Structure 1
């Protein structure tokens, strides 16, 4: 009710009106719209109760503050030209350093905390950066100066679900197809091909019966490894068997803040897969899923077909089709590092030549 999404109720029950309010909230926040209050939705609800100025913000190593107030502070600092990294709503060391830098400039004690004096100074000052996004400029500069070679770069491949969580499950006669198995097969194929191209590759989980880490754990792993890219592989499902196609997702908020290079990678992955497989293009979308939100490198999730679609299922169980998908992802990764004058048209990169260039 405090978010203005639900009228007062006589009894505290999870009725259709409450489910509808949850769905609206999930849609507004870029979450999966299922009407259920799972762990990720609950954390988003908890963050939404904070507005900037409602509490003093400071940095804690062991228990960093989370909330919409932190995200609004990050967005404010970002538009003023301070480097807070991704606006993830977490008061981490990068945000504390940006606050301290601002405090020094305005003559306040640079303790890295955001109390009443710092808030007052923020509110009375206008934007410093105009004519572009500072985050976008930093991200693009990093990629453009790192060179086109894939050799030595670290990529984290995340096969979705796993362990006791099979994801989408579809019985097919005596067989049983699961999202977790297909995602791991695609991830394993991609791991081998990218390693052959000279990249260092790390998977977030093992095969079949291995325990499935949470999205927070997967993001933490990628951050701890200081990965250059993260690609999460899923397949989709829908009650309508006619639903088919491939979609890609990157980090972005309802305020238009986005991971520029994540958005670029999502677009490249999507177009390369469509060009090589002929799948329906279901477009790219901005989401605030924790896997995309908390990773500090460009990260995308790609949903490769609908396991519930007879058309897509026939493709997904075909090893040749899976190889085409993998080739599309490799081509997209290579194009991420090409300068604009070296880039080629979608579907035109011969990934075997990437390995050939490495061996010469």
Structure 2
């Protein structure tokens, strides 16, 4: 509701973070409701009354997400990209780091079994995009963040493009919106690539790195073109 009214809350992820608390206090001050950041009955009723005729909050959140990516231009050079894995896939993240680094980006690789810890680290790094890798005994998939009130469209686009480019190597890979901790708690568009067989992934890790690099570069370029066309 705060996002719909134009207050800066970041992504609509259901997490009570400092941006949400500050936005609520700002709203309360604007409405003469004090400014204690406590969403009590009067504050909630005021929010509901103002928001009801305005429509979808995800529109504002989506604009915020894409503006953050557009601001750096349509290329990898000079951008911060994060790559992570939860254990055993260091060769994959190393290949991705090298390939994206060749395009002029600053790359952070994260190795930690706790996805929330990874999210905190890449948030501190200020990454524009995060790509994670995991092996599980289940069908391959590529996930992006989707919550109750928000879908990361940039993450969805990146997931779909990576899946399309990987199809010749791994067959059809479904994409899905999920609220996994890494996807939900990261402050940037994020995707989590899950594979079934570690041996096949390690064998083709250089090709996977090339795909991830191309897809990330194309995402930034497409958003930059969209921004230029609006101007």
TM-score between the two structures when normalised by the length of structure 1: 0.57
Work out the number of aligned pairs and report it: 225
Structure 1: gaps spanning 5 or more residues: 1-75, 163-179, 206-211, 344-360
Counterpart in the other structure of 1:198: 104
Counterpart in the other structure of 2:38: 113
The Cα of 1:228 is off from its aligned counterpart by 1.1
Q: Determine if contact 1:155/1:229 at 8 Å carries over to the other structure.
A: yes
Counterpart in the other structure of 1:248: 142
- Tell me: CA distance 1:195–1:133, structure 2 relative to 1, closer, same or farther (3 Å): same
Residue 218 (structure 2) pairs with residue 339 (structure 1) = no
Counterpart in the other structure of 2:134: 234
Q: Determine if contact 1:159/1:184 at 8 Å carries over to the other structure.
A: yes
The Cα of 1:325 is off from its aligned counterpart by 1.2
Residue 22 (structure 2) pairs with residue 91 (structure 1) = no
Out of 176, 180, 183, the residue aligned to residue 292 of structure 1 is: 183
The Cα of 1:272 is off from its aligned counterpart by 2.1
Q: Distance in 2 between matches of 1:278 and 1:124?
A: 52
The Cα of 1:283 is off from its aligned counterpart by 1.7
- Tell me: CA distance 1:86–1:105, structure 2 relative to 1, closer, same or farther (3 Å): same
Hey, which of these two has a bigger chunk of helix by percent? 2
Q: Distance in 2 between matches of 1:340 and 1:290?
A: 26
Q: Distance in 1 between matches of 2:17 and 2:224?
A: 37
Q: Distance in 1 between matches of 2:219 and 2:15?
A: 28
Q: Give the alignment of 1:258-277 within 5 angstroms.
A: 258-274=151-167, 277=168
Q: Determine if contact 1:272/1:331 at 8 Å carries over to the other structure.
A: no
Counterpart in the other structure of 1:136: 62
Q: Distance in 2 between matches of 1:101 and 1:128?
A: 21
Task: Select the structure with the greater relative contact order (CA < 8 A; seq sep ≥ 6).
Answer: 2
The Cα of 1:194 is off from its aligned counterpart by 1.2
Q: Determine if contact 1:144/1:339 at 8 Å carries over to the other structure.
A: no
Q: Distance in 1 between matches of 2:150 and 2:224?
A: 28
Q: Distance in 2 between matches of 1:129 and 1:266?
A: 30
Please tell me the root mean square deviation across aligned C-alpha atoms, in Å.
2.4
The Cα of 1:158 is off from its aligned counterpart by 0.4
Structure 2: gaps spanning 5 or more residues: 227-231
- Tell me: CA distance 1:323–1:223, structure 2 relative to 1, closer, same or farther (3 Å): same
Q: Determine if contact 1:80/1:128 at 8 Å carries over to the other structure.
A: no
Question: In the TM superposition, what whole-angstrom CA distance separates every residue of 1:208-263 from its partner, at most 9, and x where no partner exists?
Answer: xxxx441111111011111111110112314xxxx5xx42101112x352122222
- Tell me: CA distance 1:80–1:187, structure 2 relative to 1, closer, same or farther (3 Å): same
Question: In the TM superposition, what whole-angstrom CA distance separates every residue of 1:196-216 from its partner, at most 9, and x where no partner exists?
Answer: 2111111112xxxxxx44111
Q: Determine if contact 1:79/1:128 at 8 Å carries over to the other structure.
A: no
TM-score between the two structures when normalised by the length of structure 2: 0.86
Helix, strand or coil at the partner of 2:175: strand
